[in-house]
Amino acid sequence: MGEPILVTEVGPRDGLQMSHSIMPTQVKIRWIEAMAKAGVKEIEVGSFVPPKLVPQMADTAEIVEASLGIPNLHVIALVPNLKGAQRAYECGAHAVIVPVSVSEAHSRANTRKGSLDQVEEVRHIVDWARTQDRPMKVDAGCATAFGCSIDGDVPESRVVEVATALAEAGVDSMALADTVGYGNPAQVRRLVRAVRAAVGTKLKRLHLHDTMGLGIANALVGLEEGIRCFDSALGGLGGCPFAPGASGNIVTEDLVFMLESMGFDTEIDLDALLKAREILQGGIPEETLLGNVARAGIPPTYRNAA
Amino acid sequence: MGEPILVTEVGPRDGLQMSHSIMPTQVKIRWIEAMAKAGVKEIEVGSFVPPKLVPQMADTAEIVEASLGIPNLHVIALVPNLKGAQRAYECGAHAVIVPVSVSEAHSRANTRKGSLDQVEEVRHIVDWARTQDRPMKVDAGCATAFGCSIDGDVPESRVVEVATALAEAGVDSMALADTVGYGNPAQVRRLVRAVRAAVGTKLKRLHLHDTMGLGIANALVGLEEGIRCFDSALGGLGGCPFAPGASGNIVTEDLVFMLESMGFDTEIDLDALLKAREILQGGIPEETLLGNVARAGIPPTYRNAA
């Protein structure tokens, strides 16, 4: 058994929000079930955002409730604010992830608030959640931490400042998110070290996009720096409606292939994961799925191959 | 100025050999000229192999001669045997690269010889080249060093054995080649260390394919281990006619983007390199070019951006 790595599937949220068509609710549920059956232990299943803005997420309450019936699945919903967090709690979500854009321009486009005002919103969510009967984790995602398609460069000192404020606001953990996919391996190494120095193991996760083809290499550096949780999306779906030029998340299948080949243990069955692509493709037939493992097939040297 | 990295373009050889159509000689020359003008300092321009087997390479003599007229370009030809090396020498090539497959099955398919017999062929080439008036470098490529689509796993001890034999045969330098693209970062690290321990700096180069989506991550690990020369192909062309399932080389544009973003110095102008894709695509209009940088465009945060 290798060292465990948590691969969090974000396709039902980050992937589908960019889809041109809307995946039917029952297909979403079958897709989430298939991924959980393949061994995916944590899925960001949707977001509680205004359906007018992101109609693909209008059924998130129903998706959360169905996902809670899947054994051993940790169910996460993205929420932009306290109201969303309260809805997620009512539906029974195990955790919420709240985006906080480090870039001011992206923060205003995404949440209509500046970065530090959004940290205050996170603080309200944390404070509210602590008064509830049932525990619900509150995680934060430091969006555009590696650059922004509107603001360009994002100073590393600013990322550390926002991360520090989030830790102080009491989040359970946080992610560094390369929302637009401009990050490079040297930058990932520097930033993981700087944020770890400021907030320690509260920095838990990397959320990487593959815009420039460096997503998997950036994940590798995170791994080398001790990160053990990674977001990814089946078929490399994804993007950000408020980040022009961004493209998809790193491909779950390719990430799992790399991790397992290197001797890490994701507990994910790659064959079964590839089969779940069929459900995904069936639900959004006009979208192009990415992924090298799917295209080339699992090679005979794969350590988990029969 | 960052630390220099040598990016060797292998598209005119490894890329075009897999193309369904044959690029006209004049287009090949314009393409090579455009890449050299963009700052590419070393190009594998073709191979001296039987035109019946690889008709795309039938004009290699002419391509080598035209390439020699390009200022500051190091001109390499692939040769499978002494006869090919002699033709390369007659044409004036600065260096030859001789493939030696570590996998016996691939070796027999590729050169009709076992691995160690092919090392003997390399020895003949080295001995012959040393007796000539003009110096011509003799490099070797340890093909299928990270796995083989015919033989499956390739023992690392066998790679070290072949590399040691090549060093003893007197090659100027050698590459480890992931001919079919099955390698993973942990394997690249182990193998670079093992071969470096056996042959020192004679191991100069990595030749990586992106079959499973790990090519750039594998290059990153090579970089971390001190490798400073990488093969790649514009548009991610490539494969191997005797390695079923192999797909293209790592994408030159994406590799250059990563290296420059990390602060290394390739001396390659990424804008000019992207423009050279147009000539390439014009010469083989039915082939699909890959590459994330070309698809997404160079981001505003790129350090060489105006």
pLDDT tens per residue, range B58-70:
999 999 999 999 9
Q: Which chain A residues have a beta carbon less than 8 Å from that of B247?
A: 292, 295-296
A213 contacts in B (CB within 8 Å)?
216, 251, 254, 257-258, 291-293
Is A41 within a domain? yes
Does any domain span residue B117?
Answer: yes
pLDDT score of B306:
39
Nearest to B103 by CA among B218, B242, B2: B242
Evaluate whether residue B303 is within a structural domain.
no
In this structure, chain B runs to a length of 306
Q: Which residues of A touch B291 (CB under 8 A)?
A: 213
**pLDDT reported for residue A111:** 85
Instruction: Flag whether residue A261 sits within 8 Å of chain B, measured between CB atoms.
Output: yes
Q: How far is B64 from chain A (nearest CA, A)?
A: 32
What pLDDT, on a 0 to 100 scale, did the predictor assign at position A201? 97
Q: Which of A220, A224, A270 is most worth mutating to test chain B (most B CB atoms within 10 A of its CB)?
A: A220
Contact B15/B279 with Cβ under 8 angstroms?
no
User: What is the reported pLDDT for A241?
Assistant: 64
On whether any CB of chain B is under 8 Å from the CB of A10, the answer is no
In a domain, A284, yes or no: yes
CB–CB contact B213 A254 (8 Å): yes
Domain containing residue B103: CATH number? 3.20.20.70
pLDDT for the residue B18: 84
pLDDT in tens, B83-92: 999 999 999 9
3-state secondary structure chain A: CCCECEEEECHHHHHHHHCCCCCCHHHHHHHHHHHHHCCCCEEEEEECCCCCCCHHHCCHHHHHHHHHCCCCCEEEEECCCHHHHHHHHHHCCCEEEEEEECCHHHHHHHHCCCHHHHHHHHHHHHHHHHCCCCCCEEEEEEECCCCECCCECCCHHHHHHHHHHHHHHCCCEEEEEECCCCCCHHHHHHHHHHHHHHHHHHEEEEEEECCCCCHHHHHHHHHHCCCCEEEEEHHHCCCCCCCCCCCCECEHHHHHHHHHHCCCECCCCHHHHHHHHHHHHHHCCCCCCCCHHHHHCCCCCCCCCC
The answer, for A221 touching chain B at a CB cutoff of 8 Å, is yes
Nearest CB neighbour to B301, from listed A147, A220, A261: A147
What b/e string do you get for B153-164 counting C-beta neighbours within 10 Å, with b at 16 or more?
ebebebbbbbbe
- Does B216 sit within 8 Å of A213, measured CB to CB? yes
Q: Does A3 touch chain B (CB under 8 A)?
A: no
Per the annotation, the verdict on B240 as an active-site residue is yes
Measured CA to CA, the distance from residue A229 to residue A254 in angstroms comes to: 15
B111-140: pLDDT as tens digits: 889 999 999 999 999 999 999 999 999 999
CB–CB contact A186 B263 (8 Å): yes
Average pLDDT over residues B151-160: 95
Quick check: pTM over 0.90? yes
- In single-letter form, the type of residue at position A167 comes to A
Counting as low any pLDDT under 70, the low residues of chain A are 240-246, 304-306
In the prediction, which pLDDT does A244 show? 63
Position A19 scores a pLDDT of: 87
Mean of pLDDT over chain B? 95
Percent of chain B topping pLDDT 90: 89
Task: Return the pLDDT at A245.
Answer: 60
Judged by a CB distance cut-off of 8 A, whether residue A239 touches chain B is no
Does B124 lie at the interface with A, CB-CB under 8 angstroms? no
Across the range B140-167, mean pLDDT stands at 96
Write down the pLDDT at residue B109. Answer: 87
Interface membership of B213 toward A (CB under 8 Å): yes
User: What's the total number of domains in chain A?
Assistant: 1
Cβ–Cβ of A149/B187 closer than 8 Å?
no
Residue numbers in B near A152 (CB within 8 A): 300-301
pLDDT tens sequence across B166-190:
999 999 999 999 999 999 999 999 9
CA closest to A181 among chain B residues: B299
Instruction: List the domain range (segments joined by +) for residue A61.
Output: 6-296
User: Does residue B214 fall inside a structural domain?
Assistant: yes
Average pLDDT for B220-227: 98
Q: Is residue B276 part of a domain?
A: yes
Question: Is B305 a member of any domain?
Answer: no
What are B226-274's pLDDT values in tens digits? 999 999 999 999 876 666 666 899 999 999 999 999 999 999 999 999 9
Considering the domain boundaries, does residue A152 fall inside one?
Answer: yes
